[in-house]
Structures are given as C-alpha cells and as structure tokens.
C-alpha cells in the first residue's frame, strides 16, 4: 500500500479536535450490504474490513469530540444525470434498472456499518463528490473545520471524487486507508496511490486513534 502517516505529535496537531471533521462517504445498503442493489453480483465481504474500521474511526472521533459527517447518495429519477444514463446506455446497460441506486426514502439509501447519531450532520448528494450540489462546504465552514479525515466507499469513486474536491477547496485532507474499500483490491490500492500523490495524506485508523488519545 502507499506510504501511511504513523501516529506522531505532528499528526496529532494536524488532525486535532477543533479543526477536524470525519467524513463517512457512501457506506450505505446498496453499496455495502449483501442485501443491497449490488449485493446480488458483488461479494460484499471484500468491504467488511473497511466497514469495521470505519465504525472504530467513528467511535474514536466521537470520544475525542471530533464531529462526524455522514455523506450519502440519495437519488430520484429527477436527479439522475443525463450524462450518467447515456454513458450507461453506451456500455450496454439499462438506466431504468441499473441507475436506481440509493433511491431516496428506500432501504438501499440507508447507512450501513457506521450510522449517524441524532444531531450529527448528514449530507445527501446526487453525484460522486460530496461537495457537488450540496452545502457540505458551508456546513464544514460553520463547524470551523479546515481538516478532513475521510473514509468510505468506494475508494476509486466517491471517496476519490470527494477528496479531490476537498483539496481543491483548500481543506487539509487525510484518508483513513483501512476504512476505505473498493470491490477490487488492485483498484483500491491504485486509488490510494493516486490520492497520496495528488490530494491527500494517507493514514490509518490506528494512527488516528493514537493521535486523538487523550484529546477528549
């Protein structure tokens, strides 16, 4: 895997409570559960370690007083992208069937693994990035946040898209690599490498927990 940041005094300062929020991206039934839309043809056991690591990350953040923000896909037929649908058609898919992921109000859009508590910020999106068409940047600014620890699914898609936009908005971005997952190991590793090269610093949940130890 790409180099990770070890627990250190520097990391503790970089991700200190008061300046940092945790983003949990798209850990939802359709993307992570065997009973979700993708579970019929993808072995979801491949993302179970990321779900478990994200649950620990969320618990550690709450204990340290770090806000946790849940970002999830929530779609309707009206919000489906014409570009997405046309790309799917050109690849031989049926947008009326294949595009219906994480429909608003349906079980598939519910969070799976770590779940928000009452009062925690939940941001619903309709595109890959958590910043496109949402008020995520505004909400983070209200929290006084300039640093993000990001986890979620899938590494190469919505995690990567959100991380790139966060960096372009001048956030300091750390990716909890073990709390991210993809359906193919080589894609996961390649995506982590690209993010490390261009837009984020990689770390892991153990290093984060050590950095936050005693912060509460």
Single out the residue of 43, 47, 53, 48 nearest to residue 4, CA to CA. 53
* Residue 166 three-state SS: helix
User: Exposed, middle or buried: residue 39 (CB in 10 Å: 0-12, 13-18, 19+)?
Assistant: middle
Cis peptide before 154 (omega within 30 of 0): yes
How far, in Å, CA of 54 to CA of 113, rounded?
8
End-to-end Cα spacing for the chain = 31
Active site residue 26: yes
Among 44, 19, 33, 31, smallest CA distance to 174 is for 19
Q: How many CB atoms lie within 10 A of CB 103?
A: 17
The alpha-carbon radius of gyration of the chain (Å, integer) is 17
Q: Which of 26, 30, 60, 204 is an active site residue?
A: 26
Q: Is 102 designated active site? A: no
Q: Per the residue annotation, which of 30, 60, 102, 125 is the catalytic one?
A: 125
Q: With contact defined as beta carbons under 8 Å apart, do 19 and 66 qualify?
A: no
Backbone phi and psi for residue 177, each to the nearest 5 degrees, phi listed first: -60, -40
Q: Which of 60, 102, 157, 158 is catalytic?
A: 158
How far apart CA 211 and CA 17 sit, in angstroms, is 10
The residues carrying an active-site annotation are 26, 125, 158
């Amino acid at each position: 895997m790409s180099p990770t940041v070890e627990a250190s005094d520097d990391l503790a300062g970089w991700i200190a409570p008061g300046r940092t929020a945790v983003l949990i991206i798209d850990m939802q039934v359709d993307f992570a559960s065997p009973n979700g839309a993708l579970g019929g043809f993808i072995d979801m056991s491949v993302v179970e370690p990321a779900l478990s690591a994200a649950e620990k990350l969320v618990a550690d953040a709450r204990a340290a007083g770090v806000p946790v923000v849940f970002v999830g896909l929530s779609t309707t037929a009206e919000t489906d992208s014409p570009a997405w649908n046309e790309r799917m058609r050109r690849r031989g898919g049926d947008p009326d069937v294949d595009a219906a992921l994480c429909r608003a109000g349906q079980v598939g859009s519910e969070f799976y693994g770590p779940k928000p508590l009452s009062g925690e910020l939940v941001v619903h999106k309709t595109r890959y990035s958590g910043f496109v068409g949402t008020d995520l940047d505004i909400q983070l600014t209200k929290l006084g946040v300039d640093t993000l620890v990001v986890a979620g699914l899938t590494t190469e898609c919505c995690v990567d898209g959100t991380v790139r936009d966060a960096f372009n908005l001048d956030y300091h971005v750390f990716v909890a690599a073990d709390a991210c997952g993809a359906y193919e190991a080589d894609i996961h590793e390649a995506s982590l490498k690209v993010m490390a090269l261009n837009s984020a610093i990689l770390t892991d949940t153990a290093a984060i927990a050590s950095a936050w130890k005693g912060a509460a």
